[in-house]
Amino acid sequence: MKYISTRGAGPVSASEAVLRGLAPDGGLYVPESLPALNSGELEFLKSCSYGDAARLILKKYLEDFSEAEIDDCVSKAYESERFASKDVFELRELEGGLCALELYHGPTAAFKDMALQLTPRLLTKAAAHCGERDRIAVLVATSGDTGKAALEGFCELAGTSVCAVYPAGGVSELQRRQMITQRGSNTRVIALEGNFDDAQNAVKHFFSSESARAALARRGAKPSSANSINWGRLLPQIVYYSLASVRLAIGGAVDFAVPTGNFGNILAAYYAKRMGAPVGRLLCACNRNDVLADFINTGVYDRRREFFRTLSPSMDILVSSNLERLLFELSGHDAAFVSSRMDELSKMGHYSIGETLLKKMRELFSSASCGDGETLETIERLWREQNYLCDTHTAAAFFAARGFESEKLVVVSTASPYKFPVAVLSALEDTAPADDWDALRRLETLTGIEAPKSLRELESLPVLHTERCAPGDLVSVLSETL
């Protein structure tokens, strides 16, 4: 199987796509064609382990990886004590035909672990396949959870270094503490002045800068990405949608409500559907930064709007990079169409896809947005009515689900509620401590639910990363030191 860019470059091998992250023309790599799950494989998914499901899916996409290599990557990622759940994820049946797909039982208490425990291992093997002898310098822009998950996944991994760039003031205090206390001789964290879109744009600019790549090459390093722009990050996410839909489907497809920012998580569900997994409609849940909701409803993507910092910071995004892959698929792999729309977005801040593609998209996707008040109300209602505690991002998906008609709807739960203890506690009590650690302890007492150990320990860990810079300085800073 070969991979091509959404803007026309390629084809390249799976290893090249994973190693490069971003295509040389600025596009994102996608498979030339999508593999299918046959009836026997769908039956197998009903009772296999998570690791075996990952092996099945990965083999279909990584044809230049041997079975032994895939097995090694999967075993080290999922078949260890890294995940608190023996099944890696948890399916929680709730009342009213709802189910919660909990993806936050990994080492950093967020769904990014589902991919980023595997991606670093895929990347190092891809480098070996491509004869790459230089150190792989991984650069990741983060709206909160990706940064810590990448730092954890690449920490002390031979032949790699990893740098997480996050928006200063744009992540929760626990998310920030997770990153700035990260140990590891090959890890680095930078607070960028601005929002996530500023961080993402700065990182993309770095990848497209010939002078930056040349500077790294002189230091024996080659840049790569662990964001979901990298196919090696997106691919592992197809596994849990395939597995969950097969296990929950009884006579029909399973719909999913997904809290969405950069569009990678919900896009993985789309790919699982395209493979033949019983995935039905996809509900894109947004917060006050509702650019995706407007796009799905109108076919016009317009980032020329006010940016809001909300209680669900990982969704505070105005430019959703993975949407480019969806446009490529819906347009029949029309690279010229995608390139022109991305050019319009870059130069004018908006684009339109027309009625034909809008109709195709709306046959697959619905969308709804949620304000901070509605987020808190949803957290309180779920706890009061169902004794179910969720975080601020998952609450947006539960809120969107209220008006969505479905026989079987799965709400994707993307982070532990203890990553946002002040906000979650304020939904349950009239007054909540402003300090995250006081709020965490109070939330444990109030609910009887213990916070993940990795989060409870953060308070006493030393701060190891204090670097900060402006968006315009990131390329020069990283060129000299990454």
Choosing from 112, 222, 273, 408, the catalytic residue is: 112
The single-letter DSSP state of residue 463 is P
Q: Please report how the helices 119-129 and 145-154 are oriented relative to each other, as an axis angle in degrees rounded to 10.
A: 50
Q: Is 2 a catalytic residue?
A: no
Classify burial at 96, counting beta carbons within 10 Å of its beta carbon; exposed 0-12, middle 13-18, buried 19 or more.
Answer: exposed
The single-letter DSSP state of residue 225 is E
- Cα 197 to the center of its chain, rounded Å: 15
Residues in the chain: 482
Query: Would you tell me how many other CB atoms lie within 10 Å of the CB of residue 351?
Result: 20
DSSP reduced 3-state for 264: helix
Nearest to 268 by CA among 315, 224, 319, 233: 233
Query: Would you tell me how many other CB atoms lie within 10 Å of the CB of residue 230?
Result: 26
In order of 62, 74, 82, 378, 467, the CA distances from 107 in angstroms are 26, 16, 6, 27, 24
Are residues 223 and 216 in contact, defined by beta-carbon separation less than 8 angstroms?
yes
Within 8 A by CB and 6+ apart from 40, the residues are none
- Following DSSP, what letter does each residue of 21-57 receive, concatenated? SB-TTS-BEEESS-----HHHHHHHTTS-HHHHHHHH
Strands 300-302 and 365-369: unpaired
What is the spatial distance between Cα 37 and Cα 47, in angstroms, rounded to a whole number? 15
Q: Residues with catalytic annotation?
A: 112
